[in-house]
Structure 1
């Protein structure tokens, strides 16, 4: 089973093991690398001095940081990131995308098999990465004490998909929403102390993971609704993040929203393991864009992911003015 589809007590034991790879120290250590990746990404689309630049906000900019970050965290070679991204995109696409089921199955198998090869490498030669932590960590009171190769490969597929796909959408949508609200863009540019609240509002507004589907294990009553054991239950996080009973003006994008009790990272025992990494990635990318980009505008119509599972932009052509930092 995937970790996000698993119940306690095994879920909690495995989560405790995986959490060792998401310590604040390990995540903070990534910041310099993330800043370097972001600078290189913005340099790659920078125009000639004094000229307007153009790029696709999603594929050229927002996709790069999460992809390279998750490769760093898991120990996958960065040069493989584009093949990995393509497999993730195909695997998570909706059937309405006219992607043949055979192509989807092949992409899913390729991602899984890539993970298996990397797992075998790390089993024989552990490195300072999350995959090695998961492979060689031991579960308390379990026999055998370690996850088997299939379980680790399932974890790999889950984390790579979640880490690359959802944060990409949050970054792209966040920059786009700010570009449509020049007052908020300039307020954030002038006062970076607003950044933590802005990041939380971007997660609430975007809600890349739209819902969770579960099967009730026993009879219960929830919100006056009778639920029987075996019933399918869907929790719509996108709806919860627009709840008028919780949020003031929930259909407005406000970077100073407080309180902001969103469920963009889930809630409870299954709260997103990578939440702090996602926050850091959005923070780093926004910080760099605020330093360099001015007058961002869409030059074409956006396209969206055609699935109700993961929500967000697929492509968005933009133009911008880049004020690149001075050379060292």
Structure 2
């Protein structure tokens, strides 16, 4: 039987959804996602007029994104890249790796049956019961960070003073990385996730071609791997009570995990555990600076803190998309998806779908039933979600104790990035309590 014609994304929107600058501009992109859903294109195909990338299905409705996220048998992470990639970059990566589309092979790129076995190695460590053991350490880091903010005066860039260094310091302490090496880790993270943004890749070159960006990222991966190989060797010889030791001494089916799996574990913990929480934290501060009444409400009623955290994560959507590959013919949002088709689940779109969230562009710390998909869902739901929530809650407890008011002191700016995004600049003015 002939399949019905696929719903198609208009070329201008198809170009925007893979353009780093569109995510930096933000609001026009949200308008385009609204247009797609309003016109019955919550699942629709993107085809490059110049064939620069493989065709893919753009999933922008909340329900369809959730369906894909939870169905890890039909929609796989590994056969193709789990992040949008141009054909030229894919070929370059495969040349570097000897055929794999992944520069790093971590939990993000692995499917069952291996994925649950790897995930199980650290799953208990990331549960709230265990995280209580590190809460005092996290609070001390938050206190130090906020004290440094106040010591700097009454005005500055919140991203540089707080939202970037704070989660970086937390995750590095958890991994056992010395404070003296944190700037190196920050640079490597920026090279991995900020390579599309001229202000974050630290290359001094505008409009880098994709091939150059890939070489930068590849170099960062190699540096990460070398650093963490030395850390793993030290933790195997002298294990202590930290996440680094858990990873270094991990066993699957009675055998030590491979060097590649060990490196992937460290890299995903070090990189994903930093930039995403940084973006959500800055997003919350932007929203509160723009709405003094909401800042005053939360300062007076700390029971709203969990609402601030969840709303910031939804509103910011730091991980902006993932790609999946259909393992079999299926139907999604009324569209026939063929085995082997590439699928983009766009979390920015899903978390701003008015069918799921009333007035989705408004930041509302009192929002009821905030069932966002920023952490993903199903077997690949973010392993560090409880840690991210804890970090943000503790930091805002300290901030609300030490600051009486905040306001914008300049124009904020978002990173130009299709994958992990958020504010790269947030000039604020504050009044200490």
TM above 0.5, yes or no, is yes
Distance in 1 (alpha carbons) for counterparts of 2:197 and 2:313 = 26
* Equivalent-residue separation in structure 1 for 2:240 and 2:428 (angstroms): 40
Q: Distance in 2 between matches of 1:229 and 1:74?
A: 39
Q: Which one of 321, 325, 329 corresponds to residue 211 of structure 1?
A: 321
Q: Deviations over 1:217-273 (max 9, x none)?
A: 111111211111111001011111111111111121110101111011111111111
User: Which of 184, 189, 209 lines up with 1:88 in the alignment?
Assistant: 189
* Mapped contact 1:47–1:322 kept (Cα < 8 A): no
Q: What is the Cα deviation at residue 135 of structure 1?
A: 2.4
| Pairing 1:125-164 to 2, within 5 Å after superposition | 125-139=238-252, 142=253, 145-164=255-274
Residues 286-312 of structure 1, C-alpha deviations (whole Å, 9 max, x = no match): 111111113312222222211111121
TM superposition shift of 1:47: 4.2
Contact 1:210 1:309 in 2 (8 A): yes
Partners of 1:66 and 1:164 within 8 A in 2: yes
Quote the RMSD (CA, aligned, Å). Answer: 1.7
Equivalent pair of 2:195/2:217 in contact (CA under 8 Å): no
User: Which residue of 2 is the match for residue 44 of structure 1?
Assistant: 148
Shift of 1:187: 0.8
Choose from 308, 311, 323 the match for 2:421: 311
Q: Determine the C-alpha separation between the residues in 2 that align with 1:133 and 1:235.
A: 31
- 1:20/1:133 contact within 8 Å kept: no
Q: What's the TM-score, normalizing by structure 1? A: 0.92
Which of the numbers 50, 58, 61 marks the counterpart of 2:162? 61
CA contact (8 A) 1:66 1:163 kept: yes
Say whether residues 1:29 and 2:133 are aligned partners: yes
- Contact kept in structure 2, 1:58 and 1:314, CA below 8 Å: yes
Q: Does 1:20 align with 2:145?
A: no
Tell me the CA shift for residue 317 of structure 1. 2.1
**CA deviation after TM superposition for structure 1 residue 96, in Å:** 5.6
**1:196: Cα distance to partner?**
1.2
Answering whether residue 395 of structure 2 is matched by residue 285 of structure 1, we say yes
For residues 220 and 114 of structure 1, what CA distance do their matches in structure 2 show? 43
2-side partners of 1:43 and 1:253: how far apart? 27
SS of residue matched to 2:366 = coil
Pair 1:118 & 2:219 matched: no
1:61-98 CA deviation, whole Å, 9 max, x = no partner? Answer: 11122111111221211221111011100121244634
SS of match in other structure, 1:246: coil
Q: Give unpaired runs (5+ residues) of structure 1.
A: 324-328
Q: Distance in 1 between matches of 2:340 and 2:109?
A: 15
Structure 2: runs of 5 or more not aligned = 1-104, 199-205
Residue matched to 1:326: none
The answer as to whether partners of 1:94 and 1:306 remain within 8 angstroms in 2 is no
CA contact (8 A) 2:247 2:266 kept: no
Which residue matches 2:80? none
